[in-house]
Structure 1
Amino acid sequence: MSVSSERPIIIGAGPGGLAVAWTLKEAGLDPLLLDREKIACSSWHSYYPSLRMNSWRRLSSLPGMRLSAEFGPWPMRNDFLAYMKKYVEVLDPDIRYETEVHRVDREAGRWVVRTSGGDLPTRNVVVATGLHRKPFVPDWPGLDEFEGEFLHARAYTVPDSFVGKDVLVVGCGPTGIDIAVAVAHAGASRVRMSIRNMPVLFKLSPATSLLCQAIKHGPLPHGLVNRASLLMHKMQWGDLSSYGLAAPKEGTMAGAARIGHAYGAIDRGLIAAVRDGSIEVVTGVTGFDKKAVLLEDGASIKPDVVIASTGQRPDMERVLGHLGVLAQPGGRPIVHGGRTAPHAPGMYFQGYRLPPGQLPDMAVDALAIARAVTGGRRFPLAGVRRSRR
């Protein structure tokens, strides 16, 4: 198997990789996409059907094609999948499916992408495998002997199977909130949420989406952003300590830097559910003891089901760890968008900004990557005009 060394290679055929493919094709290049799965956007196919985007539709279109207004301001999972199906049809990219990337090496001024189908040399490689590649579960003592049902949130689909059950959701990120609220509304006998560190919660609104983009792509100092996010939380929710919800101890940027992934969430009914008693708040999980879940405050509870909404990781160490392009914690890249590390010219990362609001970021970074690959040349996005809906 061979490919021209001048042909850009994109690892990952999800929304981020496809967005870069669009801008590179508009710039006159012919990128090759590699994906280990059988279909494009495989991660989105695996998400629970009730997932609703947290980023405003008007900010979330990828380069070349707008999300249809028929999806409303906050499109659902299936809305976005329909959009991506059309996106792939119009883009007509060259994708090699079921191709596993084992390692990327630097040799004689080129990148060599070593895959299950052979080695591919290139001047420019774009890594777009995403932040959410591998489910993460803390190393809780006793978990292997837990006698109840345990699953990671990635395996959650619909709430019906939890009707009549005592459910503990661990983690207060966007997915944890969605699951806890859905399970409570569906008729679980009891729903508790374990929160170790209360994140900043925002109300869902176009203004929130606009603010998040201004923070990530503007010159605002992180200290100012941290203070502003804490103030917004307090102004929106007041004192929730009587419900077991302590005030956040750190702002969005400080939290994200500490844990290596998003620190903050859009509230989709959690506060109302806690106030009316349909969701109870408990402290962080420290371990398991047969049927019991052990908590930080010394208490133990015996839920029928534990759903760990404890995040996912990029899982790039095996492929890229030897190149010195990954930061800790979480193994995220040290650069993103149209920038490259000095020792890694021609390697770009798409879809790894924190805090994530990923679709708006992908559109911005896809353009930056295409301009960097083409030496800063400006080019029209003809697809915007051609594919406007």
Structure 2
Amino acid sequence: MNIPTSAPSVDRPAVIIGAGPAGLAAARALRARSIPYVQLERHSDVGGIWDLDNPGTPMYRSAHFISSRDKSGFFDEPMPSRFGDYPNRGEILEYTRSFADAYGLRDSIRFNTSVSAVAQDDGTGEWTVTTSDGTIQASAVISCTGVTWDPKMPDVEGAAEFGGEIRHSVSYVDPKEFEGKRVLIVGLGNSGADIACDAAAHAEKAFISTRRGYHFIPKHIMGNPSDSSESLPIWAERALYRFVSPIIIGDIRKWGLPRPDHKLFESHPLINTQLLHYLQHGDITARPGIARLDASGVVFTDGTREEVDLILFATGYNMSIPYLPRDYVEWVGGRPKLYLNAFAQRPGLFGVSYIEVNSSAYTLFDRIAHLIAEHLSDTRSNTPRAARFRQVVKTHNPDLSGGISFVGSDRHATYVEVRAYKRELRRVARRMGWPDLEPRFFSSLRRTRTAAKQEA
């Protein structure tokens, strides 16, 4: 990789690509430091994946946050108490848009503008961003386009012979799609579990196929959202669930699910005991992995067979960045390798949403954007410190696992443990002499609710 030999002109704006939650966090952080920027959004409004009208969104009508309301908001901007404990899709979209209005973030967004390519001049370090509306010369590029747009479809023996419908869950929207059909959901991530519940309630017959067992966590413990336990050390949280799970969850093998082959938090736990309800009542049947397909059905690895009309693969996504040259970042298991999951080795290139974590992401987006903005501020007013941080990016390799041995799959290549991750972000800020992200940090930017509502 050729590294630029000089820094781009500070007269050039930074470019933020995407106006979903990650992009809005980046915009607020830059605005707080008066760093000029342009934000590009291919859709006609903010909201990212939570807007069902956004082309390519993986969202479905029944979706809810898997983290609780009081843990899930942007930094210093709590979600309204009138929302449910686990906000639904419409509430999250409403909240995200009101956040953009409250901080005047729409002002710098160019809607209906897609990005086809970015390139950096290896001599000057200046970026050229090619859009559907022309090119922009930029001092930096902050990619905030998310990780759930490029579906990962497995190759399955016999797929060409299968007479039914095969789709990825990215195309799923409404449970009415299941009515009158025998449906198989493949994959047991949290979205797969959600969609399986929709199938259980609406399909003629529903099945779920999974090769691996997962730990289930109840959404509430003693009436409180279970992610309140995040305030505990990781060992204490594990001990809590070792005590609680046998009482509340029980042995999931009784309902056909495989026993987990890993410890709690070494892969994503399922925050969905509703699926267990449907399994217990026979509304959905658990099956192991798929061995092959034939003309009218599915043969599973245990030799059983089911006739199905629709197979929906909830098998995850590639973290692709289609507008970025492949060699601008190193890729590990289909994930971009970034310092703190945010800083590329190539100067002036950043990402805010390329992270998998056992917690709500919004406040983490803010903390990541905070460090990016501090560094961009240094490139304008403290170049020695900016150069020192670039050296940190090249040489520092912190452990973000929190002592957890994550499952060795591609999906877990970018996994972090939230407590360890937050600690490291604070350590880096202190090491560089940057201020911590404290309450009321953004207060001067916030418009009154009346003014924001009128301008919206």
TM range (shorter): 0.7 to 0.9
Distance, in Å, in 2 between the alignment partners of 1:354 and 1:181 is 24
Is the contact made by 2:188 and 2:210 (CA closer than 8 Å) also made in structure 1?
yes
Q: Does 1:193 align with 2:197?
A: no
**Correspondence 1:273-312 to 2 at 5 A:** 273-312=278-317
The corresponding residue for 2:177 is: 161
1:61/1:227 CA distance change after superposition, 3 Å: closer
Q: 1:21-79 CA deviation, whole Å, 9 max, x = no partner?
A: 01211121232112233332242213212211111111222246432222122111111
Matches of 1:308 and 1:229 in 2, distance apart?
A: 33
1:382 is the counterpart of 2:443: yes
The answer to whether the 8 A contact 2:216-2:270 is kept is: yes
Are the counterparts in 2 of residues 66 and 387 from structure 1 also a CA contact under 8 Å? no
Query: Larger deviation: 79-88 or 353-362?
Result: 353-362
Cα distance, 1:249 vs. partner? 0.8
Checking the alignment, whether the CA contact within 8 Å between 1:9 and 1:32 is kept in structure 2 is yes
User: Could you tell me which amino acid in structure 2 is paired with residue 180 of structure 1?
Assistant: A
Output the CA distance in 1 between the equivalents of 2:356 and 2:242: 20
Counterpart for residue 71 of structure 1: 83
Q: Which amino acid aligns with 1:73?
A: D
Q: Provide the TM-score with structure 2 as the length reference.
A: 0.72
Question: In the alignment, which of 320, 345, 348 is matched to residue 347 of structure 2?
Answer: 345
Q: Contact between 2:116 and 2:322, CA under 8 Å: does it hold in 1?
A: no
AA aligned to 1:347 is L
Quickly say closer, same or farther: Cα 1:358–1:268, change in 2 above 3 A. Answer: farther
Q: Does residue 1:99 correspond to 2:114, yes or no? A: yes
Q: Work out the CA distance in 2 between the residues paired with 1:225 and 1:195.
A: 29
Name which of 267, 274, 282 aligns with 1:269: 274
The equivalent of 2:23 in structure 1 is 17
Q: Relative to structure 1, is the Cα distance of residues 85 and 8 closer, same or farther in structure 2, using a 3 angstrom cutoff? A: same
Of the structure 1 ranges 266-275 and 237-246, higher mean CA displacement relative to structure 2 is found in: 237-246
- Counterpart of 1:355 in structure 2 is 357
Listed one character per residue, the Cα deviations across residues 265-316 of structure 1 (whole Å, up to 9, x for unaligned) are 2114011211222111001123322212232223322112212111122212
Write the distance in 1 (CA, Å) between the matches of 2:293 and 2:119: 40
Taking a change above 3 Å as real, the CA distance of residues 231 and 249 of structure 1, as seen in their structure-2 partners, is farther
Matched with 2:74 is 62
From the superposition, tell whether residues 382 and 251 of structure 1 become closer, same or farther in structure 2 (CA, over 3 Å): same
Q: Which residue of 1 aligns with 2:49?
A: 43
Partner of 2:252: 240
> Within 1, Cα distance between the matches of 2:243 and 2:446?
38
Tell me how far 1:157 sits from its aligned partner: 1.7
Tell me the residue number matched to 1:260: none
Unpaired runs of 5+ in structure 2?
1-8, 53-58, 379-433, 451-456
Evaluate the alpha carbon distance shift between residue 211 and residue 136 of structure 1 in structure 2; reply closer, same or farther with a 3 A threshold.
farther
Match of 1:204 among 198, 213, 219: 219
Distance 2:334 2:243 in 1: 27
1:335 aligns with 2:339: yes
Q: Taking CA–CA contacts closer than 8 Å with sequence separation of 6 or more, which of the two structures ends up with the larger relative contact order?
A: 1
Q: Partner of 1:345: helix, strand, or coil? A: coil
- TM-score, normalised with respect to structure 1: 0.83
SS of residue paired to 2:120: strand
Preserved contact between residue 116 and residue 323 of structure 2 (Cα < 8 Å)? no
SS at match of 1:202: coil
**2 CA distance for matches of 1:114 and 1:102?**
6
CA displacement, residues 150-206 of structure 1 (integer Å, 9 cap, x when unaligned): 2221222221232232111111111111111122223x2211110111122221146
Asked if the contact 2:229/2:237 (under 8 Å) is kept, the reply is no
Deviation at 1:16, TM superposition (A): 0.4
1:207: how far off?
A: 5.3
Rounded to whole Å, the distance in 1 between the matches of 2:122 and 2:284 is 55
Q: Deviations over 1:117-146 (max 9, x none)?
A: 444333332111111121221122332442
Partner SS, residue 201 of structure 1: coil
Q: CA deviation at 1:349?
A: 1.5
Could you tell me which amino acid in structure 2 is paired with residue 297 of structure 1?
D
Q: Could you list the runs of 5+ residues in structure 1 that have no partner in the other structure?
A: 256-262
One-letter code of the match for 2:99? Y
Cα-Cα RMSD:
3.0
Equivalent runs, 1:103-182 vs 2, <5 Å: 103-116=118-131, 117-182=133-198
1:316 and 2:321 are equivalent in the alignment: yes
- Distance, in Å, in 2 between the alignment partners of 1:381 and 1:279 is 48
- Aligned partner letter, 1:382: S
Taking the aligned partners of 1:113 and 1:253, their CA distance within structure 2 comes to: 41
Percent identity reads 24
Deviates more, 1:270-279 or 1:316-325: 316-325
Which secondary structure does the structure 1 equivalent of 2:196 belong to?
helix
